[in-house]
Amino acid sequence: MARYLIGRLGLMLLTMACASFLVFAVCEFTPGSVARKSLGPFATQQQVQLLMEKLKANDPLMVRYGRWLGVLLGLIPDPLQDPGTGLNFTDWRGKQYFGNFGYSTLNKLPVNDIIWERLGNTALLGGIAFLLIIPFSILFGVLSGLKEGGGLDRSLSVICITFTSIPEFASGVFLVTLFVILWPLLPGTSPLNTDAGWSLPSQLVLPVAVLVVYDFGYVARMIRVSMIGVMEKPYIRTALLKGMSTRQVVLGHALRNAMIAPFTVLLLQINFLISGVVVTELVFAYPGFGRLILEASLFGDVATIEAATLITVAIAVTTQFIGDLGYVLLDPRVRIS
C-alpha cells in the first residue's frame, strides 16, 4: 500500500512537471511580452530591451524554465525582486522560499497574495454547485434508470440532454433575463461584497444555478446507464420475486451497486467545474480563480498562469486518486494488485 501511494505521488509530481513545462513553452513562445506589459504601452523600445536584459528574458527556454522551477522550490531568489529592475516588487514571505510562485505582472503583487483567496472564492461557488449536483443527478439518474425506455425515462432523458446542451454563458443570459431583468429578484453581478445591498447568499444563487444546470444532466445520464445495468441483474429479480417492494429493492440493493461506476464520474466533475467557473465567473463578475486564469492568459502573466496550472493539475490528479481509492472502498471485488 505504501509503495502504491508513493508511486501515485511520484506520478502526480511528474504530471505536474510536464504540464508546467508545456504551459511554460506555450506562454513563453514570445518572451519579452512580460517586459512590455509590465512597463505599459508608453515605454520606449529601449526601456523594454533594458528590462528584458535584467529579467534575462533572452535566455533559452530551458534556462528560463529551470529558473522558474528554482524560484518555485526556493532554491534561488526571484529575479523580478531584484531592485535593479525598478519594478519595486517585494514579498513579505521573504526572498526565497518553497512554493514561491513569483510575481504577477498583471496584479503587481506576489502570486501567493492573490491566488489562494481567489481559489477560496471558487471553492465556495464550486462546492455548493457540487453538493447540489449530487442529489439532483442521483434523483434523475435513478428514476430514469428504473425502467429503461419507459415514459418517465424518456421524459427525464430529454430534460437531461436539453440541460447539457445549454452552455454556461447561454444559461447565464437566460437566468439573468428572467430573474434580474423581468422579475428583479436577484443581483446580476456577484462581486462578493455587500456594497450594492445584496446579501452574499443571494449573490451566489445565479452562479451556482448556472453551474448546476449545465452539469447535472451529464452526471444523471451516467447514473442512468449504471442503474439500467444493475436493474437487469438476477439478484434484483430475485428480490422482487421474493415479494420485496420496489422501494426496498431500489434503496437496499440497487442504489449502492449502481453508484459504484458513477462515483468516479462524480469526482471528475470537480475538474469539470473548474472549466465551468471560467465562464460563470466572467458572466457574474465573480472574483474567483477561473476569471484570474482568463485575465492572466489574456495579459500574458506567466507566473499566475503557471501557478494556476499547477493547482488545477494537482486538483485533477488528486480527485482521480480519490476516485480510485473510493472505488476500492465501494466495490470489494476491486483490490489493488
Partner 1 sequence: MSALTGSPLKVSAAATRTVGRRKRKLLFRSRTAAIGFFLVSFWVLAALFAPVLPLASPTQQDALALADPTPSAKHVLGTDLLGRDVLSRLIYGARTVLTVAPLSVAVAMLVGITIGMLAGYYGGWIDLLISRISDILLAFPVVVLYVILIANIGPSILNIVIATTIASAPGIGRITRSLVLGLKQQEYIAAAKLRGENALYIMVVELLPNCRGMLIVDACLRIGYTIITIGILGFLGLGLPPPNPDWGGMVKESTTVLNVWPLMSLFPAFAIVSLVLGFNLLADGLRELRKP
Contacting positions for partner 1 (CB under 8 A): 15, 18-19, 22-23, 26-27, 29-30, 154, 157-158, 161-162, 164-170, 173-174, 176-177, 180-182, 188, 271-272, 274-276, 278-279, 282-283, 290, 293-294, 297-298, 300, 305, 308-309, 312-313, 316-317, 320
Pick the closer one to partner 1 by CB: 97 or 169: 169
Report in angstroms how near the CB of residue 83 gets to partner 1 at its nearest. 30
Pick the closer one to partner 1 by CB: 298 or 336: 298
Report in angstroms how near the CB of residue 8 gets to partner 1 at its nearest. 12
Report in angstroms how near the CB of residue 30 gets to partner 1 at its nearest. 8
Pick the closer one to partner 1 by CB: 176 or 204: 176
Q: Virtual CA dihedral for 106, 169, 263, 319, nearest 10 degrees? A: -10
Pick the closer one to partner 1 by CB: 21 or 97: 21
User: Long-range contact list for 189-196, CB < 8 A, 24+ apart?
Assistant: 189/284, 189/285, 190/284, 190/285, 190/286, 191/285, 191/286, 191/287, 192/121, 192/286, 192/287
Q: Please, which residues have CB within 8 angstroms of residue 263's CB and are 6 or more apart in sequence?
A: 323, 326, 327, 330
Pick the closer one to partner 1 by CB: 15 or 202: 15
Pick the closer one to partner 1 by CB: 80 or 228: 228
**Distance between CA atoms of 332 and 255, rounded to whole angstroms?**
16
Report in angstroms how near the CB of residue 171 gets to partner 1 at its nearest. 8
Report in angstroms how near the CB of residue 301 gets to partner 1 at its nearest. 10
Report in angstroms how near the CB of residue 273 gets to partner 1 at its nearest. 8
Report in angstroms how near the CB of residue 240 gets to partner 1 at its nearest. 23
Pick the closer one to partner 1 by CB: 182 or 336: 182
Report in angstroms how near the CB of residue 256 gets to partner 1 at its nearest. 26
Q: Please, which residues have CB within 8 angstroms of residue 230's CB and are 6 or more apart in sequence?
A: 145, 236, 254, 257, 258
Q: Between vectors from CA 51 to CA 47 and to CA 52, what angle results, nearest 5°?
A: 115
**What angle, rounded to 10 degrees, do the helices at 200-231 and 111-146 form?**
40
Q: For 283, left (φ over 0), alpha (ψ -120 to 50), or beta?
A: alpha
Report in angstroms how near the CB of residue 162 gets to partner 1 at its nearest. 6
Pick the closer one to partner 1 by CB: 48 or 278: 278
Pick the closer one to partner 1 by CB: 99 or 167: 167
Q: How many CB atoms lie within 10 A of CB 256?
A: 12
